[in-house]
Structure formats: structure tokens, C-alpha cells
Chain A
């Protein structure tokens, strides 16, 4: 993927570029807001990573300008201000996701991958399928290998998110935000508990596990390889 990183802190920029390059992404860096706006609107990128506080033009104004120019490239905000208002502002301005500094690179990579491969325009699927696990989104019915699986509403949402991101890592934070609407780090094993319940229903009774733990990062649902 081609990624544009607009970030004025050299160390962060180097860290991100190195990581992304190692993961076969091509990454351009710009340190100034105005240059970033020019680059973002005059070149084709798959994902923009934008720092909130930039010289020249701040991140919020930059994203607004990018959107106003009709460029719909997915935008990930990097912000050191974790206030909810800041995040809401960022998303309102047209960003697709945000990540609070300091961040783990794995989290950034997972989010960038999720954004970049997000299908641009596609009819909403009514059925999801991973290996022999099937989810009917209309009937809200899940079965594996022809065997019906009963899920609690939140377990269903959890599985849906994992299935939609098949073969990609979904981080703990992403799960907390999207499934439970938690924007804080719980002190108890909320995620682990629910993942383990889900695993008990979709994996335990079957020979091949589909739900895999990616240590210290999150979870990934994929067919055996």
C-alpha cells in the first residue's frame, strides 16, 4: 500500500516509516501541514496518517481541507491528546480512525491494514464466511459445519467484527471501542473473558481452531493454513 505520513516529529516518523516498510508498505513522509495537504491532494495514496499537531496547518484543518477537495482516502489520526472531544472532533472532520500516542506499532499496523483494505464501494454482504464458519447477518444466525451456534448479542457483534476482518489482526483496543463502546482501558479481563466464551462456542467443539490470539496485540480469525 502507498501511505502518506504527515508527522513533524522525526523520531516518530522514522519509527513509523521503518515499521511500515518492513511490512511491505511504501511510505512517504511530510513534516509540514501545508506540504501534507498538497501531497495528499496531488498524489494517490491508500491511507493518510496525520498527526494532530503540525506546523503550518494543523491536522484537523488539513483533514477538513482534504475532504473539501473531494479526496476520500482513508485518514488515520495520530494524536497525543486522548480527550474524547478531540477524538470526536477528529472523526467529525472526516478522519476514519484515530490512534492515541504513545501507541504500539502493531496497533498502528492493524488499523492501517484495516483502513487500506476497506472496500471502497461494495454492496453490504448479507452473509460472512470464514472456512466452515458461517454468519447470516439478516437472520442473525451462526453455524459452523452445519451446526447452529447460539451467541449472546455482544458475542455476535464480536464475531461479526472478527469475521469482517478475516485474516487481519483486530487489536484489543479496537474490540473495546467497536464492540463495547469502551474508550478506556479496563482493569479486568473483559476482552479475554468474552473471547474465551466465544472460543468455547465456535472453536472448542470443533477440530480446527479459527480464532487465534496474537500475543500482546489482539486476535485474528482465519482458516487453518
Chain B
């Protein structure tokens, strides 16, 4: 990974930001500790200075300065190097005893560079000055030790900082590059998908349960659905093209016929009639396709109202009872006595859906068939059943019949767009209903299970249907 890329990567930036934050915290805590140590050391040296001052001052007795001079000298003797400073000055400024050149020092605590007293070196001194009888005693301690100690502390702290910064940046870069590799895998996969390789999936590089893996799995699932949708769309467009070819060919042939007849001066009304019919059929196919697309868009959910499915069945039973009778069949409607079958839905679409199922039954059953409509209400579901005792649908075909433009081989010749059941499925799915085709031995049973309005909805439907 190039440096510019590394800098652009989010994980690296995060690691870097974290390292900076970490170092700042480290330095801040170091400064606080440093300050505390320094204060503590100074306090200790001040104590020692004051102690020495007191010891010397105690030697003073009744205007005899000699004992003080002796005590001062003794302390000077005990001092190695120039760590401590002693100066006993007479009121006129003359040095009575001391290890430095005389100078004027104010009473109390003060801090002065060693050069003021003719001491070589850069160190400064903390001085305590006070009266001993008529004379002035100054005791001081150099900050040499403090400085040295502080230097050591600062030095080690500096090294520690460097190590911490290096570790933070290197660790961050390492972690970042690992995260980046996985992000790159996601990016690469998406690039491949956008270039048409719909089967590409993101490899799961983690242990399978971290956030990146969860995200990858989500994306993979989305890709799965997407490619299925694209595949079905491809299927649909080729089906449409295929399905339209036949009627368009018919159109062309009829037109040719009409032209020939026209040339011979014969009337062409019959041909025109048949042309109008063919075009009407093509239009119907498109209408139905558009309608399915519109239903699938889900926009109609906004218009859902409270619907009693019993009312819809009552209407349909009335409308189709006579139609079935004319076809030589019987339509029977049964329902839980007086129980309301309330769902949230779209009356127009639900009417179309059930009308579709009933019409399928009427059209595909030979005369003498019995078509039953049934509505049953349970605690959280409402099951609607349209069942006939006709030829049914072979088990292996039951999934395919929901495909757009799919028609069973045996019904290819009868009129119909092959979109009826696709429409039914789209409407059922819009209502969060689950549709199942089962064998009524003989015949076909179509069960559509709705979540009951006000009942606990959700996965119950699926479990319910697969369980029964």
C-alpha cells in the first residue's frame, strides 16, 4: 500500500488519531508527574537548608558570635564541593565566615545564581537568610541535584515517549492495513459486481462474527437478492420478447392477408377485426406487466384501509356464482359464522387477487367442478382458501406458475396472459400474506394467509403455513 493510500484509509487515520491522542495523554500525565516531583524535591532541599540554618543559629549564645563562626566552619568542612553555601556576614558586610564571596542577601527565602557569590557553574542556589544576633547568616543549597534528577526523569520520559509514539503509529498502521485489506476486499467485490460480475461475493476474512464480517454478510445477502432480481428481470424480458413474437407474427400475417385481399378488391373487415383483437391482447399483456410492477413498488401500502375479507368474498361469491353456474361448475362459500376477518389492505387489489384465483379455477376445471371459498380466522392469522377439484398443477410446476408469463404446457393454447398468478403473488406479498399451492387430491388448493389486523404478526405466517 502506498503512503498516500495509507493516509487516505479510514482505519489508518483512526489509528493515527488514536496514537496522537495517546501520546498527548502520556505527555500530559508526564508533565503533571514532573511538576510534582520537582516541587517535592525543592521542598525537601528547603527543609534541609532551614535545618542547617537552625543548627548554626542555635550555636549563638549571648553576643558571642564565635560559636556561630565555628559552627559555620564546621558545616563548611562537612560540605563536599559546592552543594551548600554558607555565609556569615557582620552588619558592615564583612564576611565573618563562609565558603563564598560576600554579597547582600535579603532576609527570608530567595533564589540567586551562583555567580553572584563567585561560584563557577550554572547552578543557582536557594538561600535562606536571617539574623543571628547582630550578624547575618545565609545558608543555601544548590539546585544541582534537583536539576540532575530532573534531567534523568525528563530523559527517560522522552525515550518512553518516542517508544510509545513508534508503537502507536506502527501498531495503528498494522491494524489499519489489516482492516484496510478487508475493506479493499469489499471495494474490489463491489467493483466486480458493478462491472457485471453479479456472482462475486465478499470473502469473509475475520472470525466470522465481527462487524466487518456482519457487514460483508449483509452486503452479500443484498447482492444475492439483487442478482436474483436481475436474473428474474432478464428472464422476464426474454419471456416478454418471446411472448410478443407470436402475436406480432400473427399481426404481420394478418396484415399480409389483408393487403392481398385489398389488392384483389375484396373486403378486409374481417382481417381488421382480428388485428384489433391481437393488438388488444398485446396491450393487455403490457397492462398486466405494468400493473405488477406498480404493485411491487409498494406505493399502494400508503392507502391501506381496514378490510373485512368476508365482505370481499361475499361480493365475489355473488359475482362469480352465476358465472360458475353458466360454466357448469358450482361455487361454494363458507366462513366462520359472523366472525370478522379484518386485515389491513387494498380492497381493489384484494378483489382482483381473489377474482383471479376464482377465474383460474372456473377456466381450468372441466364442467361439473366444485370451487370452494373459505375464510378461517385464528388468533393472529386469517387464512383464505380457494380450492377446486379440477386437474390441479403438478408438484414440480407449483413454484414456476408464479413466474411472469409462465404457462403450463397444457394451457398454452387457451387464452390468457400468463400473468394472473404473478399478479396474485405480487398482491399477496404487498399485504405481507403468504401464499401456498397444495394438492387438493384431486384439484388445486390455494391458501393465502394474512396477518390479522391487531394480531401479533410477522414470522408466524411462514411457520404457520409450513407447519400445517
| Residues in chain A within 8 A of chain B (CB atoms) | 81-85, 88, 100, 102, 152-154, 180-190, 193-194, 196-197
With A182-B355, A184-B355, A187-B420 known to touch, is A85 a contact of B299 (CB < 8 Å)?
A: yes
In the assembled complex, 7 residue pairs joining A and B whose CB atoms fall closer than 8 Å, in A order, are A84-B349, A88-B303, A181-B315, A182-B355, A185-B284, A185-B287, A186-B359
With A181-B348, A182-B351 known to touch, is A190 a contact of B319 (CB < 8 Å)?
A: yes
Q: In the complex, which residue of chain B has the Cβ closest to the Cβ of A100?
A: B287
Instruction: Name which of A100, A183, A193 has the most chain B CB atoms within 10 A of its CB.
Output: A193
Residue-wise, chain B 248-290 has the 8 Å CB interface mask toward A (1 for contact) of 0000000000000000000000000000000000011001001
Q: Are A181's CB and B290's CB within 8 A?
A: no
Q: Cα distance A82–B286 when bound, in Å?
A: 11
When distances are taken between beta carbons in the complex, the residues of chain B under 8 Å from A186 are 355, 359
Q: Are A188's CB and B348's CB within 8 A?
A: no
When distances are taken between beta carbons in the complex, the residues of chain B under 8 Å from A85 are 294, 299-300, 303
Q: In the complex, which residue of chain B has the Cβ closest to the Cβ of A184?
A: B352
Q: Which of the 9-residue segments B9-17, B52-60, B145-153, B320-328 touches chain A?
A: B320-328
Q: Are B355's CB and A194's CB within 8 A?
A: no
Q: In the complex, which residue of chain A has the Cβ closest to the Cβ of B291?
A: A82
Q: Are A181's CB and B363's CB within 8 A?
A: no
With A102-B283, A183-B348 known to touch, is A189 a contact of B326 (CB < 8 Å)?
A: yes
With A187-B363, A188-B359, A188-B362 known to touch, is A181 a contact of B303 (CB < 8 Å)?
A: no
Q: Are A182's CB and B347's CB within 8 A?
A: no
Q: Cα distance A194–B326 when bound, in Å?
A: 10
Does B454 make an interface contact (CB < 8 A)?
Answer: no
Q: Are A82's CB and B355's CB within 8 A?
A: no
Does B106 make an interface contact (CB < 8 A)?
Answer: no
Q: Cα distance A181–B350 when bound, in Å?
A: 11
When distances are taken between beta carbons in the complex, the residues of chain A under 8 Å from B303 are 85, 88
Shortest Cβ gap from A3 to chain B (Å)? 25
Residue-wise, chain B 15-38 has the 8 Å CB interface mask toward A (1 for contact) of 000000000000000000000000
Does B116 make an interface contact (CB < 8 A)?
Answer: no
How many B residues have CB within 8 A of the partner chain? 31
Shortest Cβ gap from A216 to chain B (Å)? 8
Residue-wise, chain B 326-367 has the 8 Å CB interface mask toward A (1 for contact) of 110000000000000000001111011001100100110000
When distances are taken between beta carbons in the complex, the residues of chain B under 8 Å from A196 are 326
Does B118 make an interface contact (CB < 8 A)?
Answer: no
Q: Cα distance A102–B351 when bound, in Å?
A: 24
Q: Cα distance A88–B303 when bound, in Å?
A: 10
Residue-wise, chain B 300-326 has the 8 Å CB interface mask toward A (1 for contact) of 100100000000000100111011001
Shortest Cβ gap from A157 to chain B (Å)? 11
When distances are taken between beta carbons in the complex, the residues of chain B under 8 Å from A187 are 356, 359, 363, 415-416, 420
Enumerate B358-378 residues with CB–CB distance to A below 8 Å: 359, 362-363
Shortest Cβ gap from A196 to chain B (Å)? 8
Q: In the complex, which residue of chain A has the Cβ closest to the Cβ of B302?
A: A85
Please pick, from A84, A184, A189, the residue contacting B323 in the complex, using a CB distance under 8 A.
A189
When distances are taken between beta carbons in the complex, the residues of chain B under 8 Å from A82 are 287, 290-291
Shortest Cβ gap from A212 to chain B (Å)? 20
Q: Are A183's CB and B300's CB within 8 A?
A: no
Q: Are B351's CB and A83's CB within 8 A?
A: no
With A188-B363, A189-B323 known to touch, is A154 a contact of B355 (CB < 8 Å)?
A: no
Shortest Cβ gap from B156 to chain A (Å)? 76
Q: Cα distance A84–B363 when bound, in Å?
A: 26
Q: Cα distance A180–B294 when bound, in Å?
A: 22
Q: Are A180's CB and B322's CB within 8 A?
A: no
When distances are taken between beta carbons in the complex, the residues of chain A under 8 Å from B284 are 185
Q: Cα distance A82–B289 when bound, in Å?
A: 11
Q: Are A197's CB and B322's CB within 8 A?
A: yes
When distances are taken between beta carbons in the complex, the residues of chain A under 8 Å from B356 are 187
Q: Are A190's CB and B300's CB within 8 A?
A: no
A-B pairs with the 10 shortest C-beta distances?
Answer: A83-B294, A193-B323, A184-B352, A187-B359, A188-B359, A193-B322, A193-B326, A188-B323, A183-B348, A188-B362
Q: Cα distance A82–B283 when bound, in Å?
A: 12
- Given A181-B351, A194-B322, 8 extra CB contacts under 8 A: A81-B290, A84-B346, A182-B351, A182-B355, A183-B348, A184-B291, A186-B359, A187-B363
Q: Cα distance A186–B349 when bound, in Å?
A: 13
Q: Cα distance A186–B327 when bound, in Å?
A: 15
Q: In the complex, which residue of chain B has the Cβ closest to the Cβ of A183?
A: B348
Please pick, from A84, A152, A153, A181, the residue contacting B300 in the complex, using a CB distance under 8 A.
A84
Shortest Cβ gap from B42 to chain A (Å)? 84
Q: In the complex, which residue of chain B has the Cβ closest to the Cβ of A152?
A: B318
When distances are taken between beta carbons in the complex, the residues of chain B under 8 Å from A81 are 290
Q: Cα distance A88–B352 when bound, in Å?
A: 17
Q: In the complex, which residue of chain A has the Cβ closest to the Cβ of B294?
A: A83
When distances are taken between beta carbons in the complex, the residues of chain A under 8 Å from B290 are 81-83
Q: Cα distance A154–B320 when bound, in Å?
A: 12
Q: Are B319's CB and A154's CB within 8 A?
A: yes
When distances are taken between beta carbons in the complex, the residues of chain B under 8 Å from A102 are 283
Q: Cα distance A118–B349 when bound, in Å?
A: 30
Shortest Cβ gap from B383 to chain A (Å)? 24
Enumerate B205-223 residues with CB–CB distance to A below 8 Å: none
Q: Cα distance A169–B291 when bound, in Å?
A: 28
When distances are taken between beta carbons in the complex, the residues of chain A under 8 Å from B319 are 154, 180, 190, 194
Q: Cα distance A22–B297 when bound, in Å?
A: 42
Shortest Cβ gap from B345 to chain A (Å)? 13
Q: Cα distance A100–B351 when bound, in Å?
A: 20
Shortest Cβ gap from B351 to chain A (Å)? 6
Shortest Cβ gap from A164 to chain B (Å)? 21
Q: In the complex, which residue of chain A has the Cβ closest to the Cβ of B322?
A: A193
Q: Cα distance A187–B407 when bound, in Å?
A: 15
When distances are taken between beta carbons in the complex, the residues of chain A under 8 Å from B416 are 187
Q: Cα distance A65–B323 when bound, in Å?
A: 45
When distances are taken between beta carbons in the complex, the residues of chain B under 8 Å from A180 are 315, 319
